[in-house]
Chains A and B, each alone.
Chain A
Amino acid sequence: MTDSTSHHQLEQMITGYWKSQSIYAAAKLGIADLLIDGPQSPELLAAKTGTDAESLYRLLRALASIGIFAENEAGEFALTPLAEPLRSDHPESRQALAIMNGEDQFRPWCEIIYSLETGKSAYEMIWGKSVFEFLSEHPEKARIFDKAMIGIHGRSTNAISKAYDFSEISVLMDVGGGNGSNLISILQAYPHLRGILFDIPHVVERAQEQFERAGLADRCDLIGGDFFESVPRGADACLLRHIIHDWNDEKSLELLKNCHAALPEKGKLLVIEGIIQPGNDVSMGKFVDLVMLLVTGGKERKVDQFRSLYEQAGFELTDIFPTITELSIIEGIKR
C-alpha cells in the first residue's frame, strides 16, 4: 500500500459518516418510495416531503455520486440498484436500519468518549434508561427497531435451520424470539417440531399475527414474561439469538441460569451469536461489539468467554456450528 492511498483511505473513513447521515436523511424522508412510479424533480420531492428544494437537490446530488439515485437529463432523480433497498417494501429493505442508525443510535456515538472513559453505555447516560426500556416506552421507535433487525438478520434466519440439525429436538423455545420470524423459519423446516416463543408481553402480542399468517398457530405457544425473572418450562431446547450479546456477564449468567432451571436433564442450549476470532482480521462483529458497548452495555465474545459463561451457568459447551453468515450456533448441554 502506498503512502498516498493510506492517507486517502483514512480520510474516507474519517468522513464516512457523511454518507451514513445522507442515507439516513433520504430514508427518513422516504425518497425511494416516492420514486417507485418513476423519476421526479427535486422540487416535487421537496413539496411532498416538506423540505427545502435546493437543499434536497444537493443531498440527492451527493447520494447520486455514490450510486444511490441518479439524476437524468431532465434534472429528475430516479431509483438505482443501490437505492432500491431504501424502499420500505423491498425484501431486503434497509430503510429502517438507516433510520435507526441515523437517530437513536447516532446520539450515543457522539458521546463515545464517555463509554471509553467509564466502560458504560453512553445510551443509558443520555436517556437515563436502557435501550430496551426506552423502546418499550416508544412503540413507534420499537417498530423501526424490529424492522431494522429483520433487515439485518433476515438472511441468518434461513442459515440457522440449514446449519443445525433440529431433528432430535421435540419442543424448541426461542427465548427473546421477538417477532417470531426465526422460530417460524425453523418450524417450517422441521414439521415434527413444536415451538414456544418467549419474549416480553408487548412483543409477544405483535408476534401472534405472524404465526397465524404462517399457519403455525397450533404448533407454537406464545408466552409473555421477563427472562431475568424466569424462563417457562416445557421445551427440551432453548435457543437465544442475539440475546446474550446485549448483556454484560452478570446479566447473561442470570439469563442462562434461568434457562438451565427451565430445561430437563441433557436439555440443549443453543446460543446464536457472532464469535470474535483472535487476530486482526476484518470482522463486522468487532464493530458490533462497540455498538454493544455504547448502546446496550453488552459485548461480543470469543469462544473461551462463551465457554466460561456456559460452565458457570451449568452447561457444557459441546459444539460450535458455523453458518454461511457471520453467526455461529454454540451448542451446550445441561449438566
Chain B
Amino acid sequence: MTETVPHQQLDQMITGYWSSQAIYVAAKLGIADLLVQGPQTAEQLAATTETNAGALYRLLRALASVGIFTENKQKEFALTPLAEYLRSDVPGSKRALAMMAGDEQFQAWGHILYSIQTGKTSFDQLYDKPIFEYLSENPEKGQIFDQAMTGIHGRETGEILNAYDFSQTKTLIDIGGGNGSNLISMLQKYPDMKGMLFDLPHVVERTQAHIEQAGLVDRCHLIGGSFFEFVPEGADTYFMRHIIHDWDDEKSLTILRNCHTAMPDNSKLLVVESVIPEDNEPFAGKFLDLVMLLIPGGKERTAEEYRCLFKEAGFEMTRIIPTESELSIIECVKQ
C-alpha cells in the first residue's frame, strides 16, 4: 500500500460508507448466490433480480474495484475470495451481517448526532420501539439478525472452548442462547454435559429444529421466557455471551440478580464479552460500543466497570480469561 497523508486517510474513512452500502445491496439482491454456477452478465443478473441493468453494472464494477466480484473479458461477473463470503450457504457467511448492517442499523447511524446529544438510542427514536421488540414483530428481520450473529460469533465458540475448561460442568445454561449454535458446539465437545437454553419464546421456537438436527434433544432442554423476569434453576454453569453489553447498568443488574437468585452455591457465572482496554489502541469493541449506544442502548465495559457491576449484583469477579480474539471470559462466583 502506498503511503497516504492524513487527509487522504480521512477521505477513505469519511467515504467508507459507500462500500458498506454497495455490499449491502449486493447481499440483499443475493448476487453471490446467483454466481455459484458460474459468471453472469449484469443484464442476466438484472433480469433475475428485477433491477436496472445499467445501474447494476455500475454497482458490480465498483465492487470489483475493491475485490468483491471480478469482471471478465465477456463482461461477465464472477465470484472472488471476498465475494464468496456473501453467499448464504458458506460457513462464516457475512451475507446476513451485510443485510442487517445496511438496513435499519444504517439508518440509525444516520442519526448518530441524536445519540451523542441525548445518550439515548437513535434506533428507538426512528422506529418507535426497542430493537428486540422490533425484531420479534418482524420475524424475517429477526431471522437475518440471528444469522448475522452466527456469522459474527460463529468462530467465537471454538475460541471459548479453547480458552476455558468446562470439564467440571454438569449442566450449562446458555442464557439468551439464540439459535443454539453455541450450545450445540459445547455439548458436542463435552459428551457428558447437559445443556439448557433460555431465550424469548419466539426465539426458542426457532431453536428447536436446530437441536433436533444436531441429535441433541435428550441432552438439551429449551425454556422460553424473559431474563428480566426470571432465570431458570437447575444448572451449575450460567453462561451469557454478548448479552450484558446490550443493556444499560440498571437492566444488566436485573438480569444478573435473576441469575444470582437461580444459581446454587458453588456454581459459576461466565459472562463472555469484549473487555475494553483503557488506552488509545485499535480495538473493535470500542466501535461496537457505539453500536450499543445507538441500537440497543447498552455498552461495552472496562474490567473495572464489570467488577463494579458484578459486585452490585452479589457476585465476585474471580478471573478474566482472554481468548485468541478480542473476547474475554469473565468468571464470577456468588459472594
Contact = CB atoms under 8 A, between A and B. Distances in A.
Please indicate whether A and B come from the same complex rather than being unrelated chains. Answer: yes
Interface of A: 1, 3, 6-7, 9-11, 13-25, 28-29, 50-52, 54-56, 58-59, 61-62, 64-66, 68, 70-71, 81-82, 84-86, 90, 92, 94, 97-98, 101-102, 106-107, 109-110, 112-113, 115-119, 151-152, 276, 279-283, 286-287, 289-291, 293, 299
B64 A280 contact: yes
A6 B118 contact: no
A50 B117 CA distance: 7
Contacts of B94: 7, 10-11, 14
Contacts of A281: 65
B282 to A, nearest CB: 5
Considering residues B16, B94, B281, which has the most beta carbons from chain A within 10 angstroms of its beta carbon? B16
A58 to B, nearest CB: 5
Interface stretch (B82-90, B204-212, B306-314): B82-90
B92 A16 contact: no
A116 to B, nearest CB: 5
Given A56-B116, A58-B290, A115 B13 contact: no
Interface residues of B, number: 73
Given A11-B97, A59-B112, A280-B65, 4 more contacts: A16-B17, A16-B19, A18-B287, A152-B11
A151 B15 CA distance: 14
Contact of A23 (B6, B13, B50): B13
Interface in B92-134: 92, 94, 97-98, 101-102, 106-107, 109-110, 112-113, 115-119
Nearest to A103: B110
Contacts of B13: 16, 19-20, 23, 66
Contacts of A286: 58, 61-62, 64-65
B24 interface: yes
A17 B21 contact: yes
Interface of B: 5-7, 9-11, 13-25, 28-29, 50-52, 54-56, 58-59, 61-62, 64-68, 70-71, 81-82, 84-86, 92, 94, 97-98, 101-102, 106-107, 109-110, 112-113, 115-119, 152, 276, 280-283, 286-287, 289-291, 293, 299
A2 to B, nearest CB: 9
Contacts of B17: 16-17, 20-21, 101, 106, 109
A109 B58 contact: no
A15 B290 CA distance: 12
B287 A65 contact: yes
Nearest to A84: B6
9 contacts: A6-B84, A20-B16, A22-B287, A81-B6, A92-B7, A98-B10, A102-B112, A119-B55, A287-B65
Given A17-B17, A286-B61, A82 B68 contact: no
The CB with the most chain A CB atoms within 10 A, among B14, B15, B290, is that of: B14
Contacts of A98: 10, 14
A58 B293 contact: yes
A281 to B, nearest CB: 6
Contact of B10 (A21, A94, A289): A94
B66 A282 contact: yes
Contacts of A11: 94, 97, 152
